[in-house]
Amino acid sequence: MADGTPRAASRSLAAASPWRIERRALPGPVAPYRVAAILAGVLAALVFGPVVANVDAGTFYSTVWTATFGSQFGFSNVLLLATPLLFTALAACVPYRLRLWNIGADGQMFLGAWVAAAIAFSVLPDATGVLLMGAMIAGSAVGGAVWILMPALARAYLGVNEIVTTLMLNFAALYWLVYWATNPWRDPVSAAGVQSKAIPDAAQLPTLTLGLITIPVGFVGAIVIAALLWGYFRSSKLGYELRIIRESAGAAAYAGIPIQRRIVGVMLIGGALGGIGGAIEMMGNVYMYSDALSSNIGYTGIVVAILAAGSELAAIPIAVLFASMVAGGNALSTAGVQSNLVIAVLGFTVLVAALGDGLARFRLVRREASVPADAGGKHGSQLDDAGERAEVNV
């Protein structure tokens, strides 16, 4: 029997300790496990970082500290990195409300930025100020949404796995970008790398300064959008419908909620947010249509969304934290460390979070002579009546 040995082990363990592990009737809250996952990731990076990076501890910590929260320049840079990351995190968070995965934020960024660049280069070359920037950002939202339209429709009406489809479009978008950046919009002066000519000065976003800290306007915008989305889903009819669909698709269908349209809806919102992120990154940091617009920002955004458990509000501090990890990694990469190592740390946090989702199904209960009547509700006490069946074979 597959479960024979672990079951025996847990039984002997249970006999020795006053605690026992009990299955919850419904999975418990995951938030504590997500927080634990983030802490584990940060701790792992700080403890094992110097070893894996093969630099002495003093250099490691001082480099990372200066590059993140320890200097005004470092902190400004963290905010700059956090800006597109928060957008891609939101792009994943909104579909995650229906437990759908938007893996395509990188592609949506490229397409959003493409529309924005097209507006700046060709459609409204003479426009300036708010009109130009507004048009670019609105256009980028449309671009990102169009880019996810096919996966959204295929998921809603045909049940095609959205992980595969949104991911495939990342690669397609990358080649789309390479074509436009190196052919029609080629930089006539510098031919190096995949980058277009610069976007007009009028299309470059301003920054705010707070003392010596530079705050990108895009970052403020991302925070406002995150808060608005969170509040809207919390209090609106749509948010309520999404919660019902997530808890029970059958009940939602019975209540007359158009599930398929809601699936398309959240995915399009996600795509639009990814598109805006691309335009903001181009207008506020990169200043040209280039593959530098996203170096795994879309994938990192998924990690942020996972650890935020889909909460747009929780995504804000997590995005800043992860941006600081990336900034630390980049600073160390001059010392010969691959900044890719940060990705491994992100993976570790996701793994811990995934374990936490499993653990949230259980709880520790003190072993007492009399079993509490409300142990796990009605369902739970039925399990208790069945004796050891309530004890879990991990």
Partner 1 sequence: MSAELIVASIAAALTAGTAVLIAATGEMLVEKAGIYNIGIDGMMLTGGLAGIAAAATTDSLLLALLAAVVAGALLAGVFGVAVIAFRADMIMAGFALVFIATGLCAQLGHKWERVPSEVRIPQWDIPLLSKIPYVGPSVFENLSLVYIALLLPIAMHLFLSHTRAGLNIRTIGESPAAADAAGIAVNRTRMVCILVGGAFAGIAGAFLTLGVLGTWLPGATAGQGWIAFGLVIFAGWRPLWLLLGATLYGALGTLGSVGQALGWNVPTEVFSALPYVGTLVVLVVLAWQRSRKGGWSAWPTSLGASFSRSGG
Which residues lie near partner 1 (CB under 8 A)? 1-3, 6, 23-25, 52, 101, 150-151, 154, 157-161, 163-165, 167-172, 174-176, 178-179, 183, 299, 302-303, 306, 337-338, 340-348, 350-351, 353-359, 361, 383, 389-394
H/E stretch holding 362: strand 362-366
Residue with smaller CB distance to partner 1, 73 or 175: 175
First to last CA, the chain: 14
In 198-258, alpha helices (H): 217-235, 237-247, 249-254
* Cβ nearer to partner 1, comparing 280 with 337: 337
The CA distance from 32 to 227, in Å, is 22
Measured CA to CA in angstroms, residue 216 lies from 208, 220, 325 at distances of 6, 7, 19
Which of residues 27 and 134 has its CB atom nearest to partner 1 in the complex? 27
Least spacing, CB of residue 268 vs partner 1, in Å: 17
CA–CA separation, 156 vs 83, rounded Å? 30
Of 205 and 352, nearer to partner 1 (C-beta) is: 352
Q: How far is the CB of 28 from partner 1 (least distance, A)?
A: 12
**Cα–Cα distance for residue pair 387/342, rounded to 1 Å:** 47
Q: Give the Cα separation of 108 and 266 in Å (integer).
A: 14
Whole-number Å distance between alpha carbons of 242 and 98 = 6
Q: Residue 220 CB, nearest distance to partner 1 (Å)?
A: 29
Longest C-alpha distance within the chain, in Å? 82
Q: Please tell me the distance from the alpha carbon of residue 357 to that of residue 354, in angstroms, as a whole number.
A: 5
In 3D space, the residue among 168, 215, 238, 240 whose CA is nearest the CA of residue 320 turns out to be 215
Closer residue to partner 1 in complex, CB, 52/220: 52
Least distance to partner 1, CB of residue 215, Å = 29
Q: How far is the CB of 227 from partner 1 (least distance, A)?
A: 26
Shortest distance (Å) from residue 357 CB to partner 1: 5
Specify the residue, 23 or 197, whose C-beta has the smaller distance to partner 1.
23
Q: Degrees (nearest 5) of the Cα angle 346, 351, 354? A: 125
Dig out the tokens for 186 from the structure: 């080629």
Q: How far is the CB of 135 from partner 1 (least distance, A)?
A: 27
Q: Count of alpha carbons within 13 Å of 32, Cβ hemisphere only?
A: 8
SS3 of residue 125 by DSSP: coil
Q: Specify the residue, 2 or 369, whose C-beta has the smaller distance to partner 1.
A: 2
| Token pair for 190 | 């510098």
Instruction: Output Rg (C-alpha) for the chain, integer angstroms.
Output: 24
The residue (of 48 and 65) whose beta carbon lies closer to partner 1 is 48
Q: How far is the CB of 25 from partner 1 (least distance, A)?
A: 8
Between 119 and 352, CB nearer to partner 1: 352
Number of Cβ atoms within 10 Å of the Cβ of 256: 7
Shortest reach from residue 79's CB to partner 1, in Å: 24
156 vs 111: CA distance, rounded Å? 22
Least CB distance to partner 1 at residue 65 (A): 22
Nearest to 72 by CA among 223, 211, 264: 211
Give whichever of 98 and 306 is closer to partner 1, judged by the CB atom.
Answer: 306
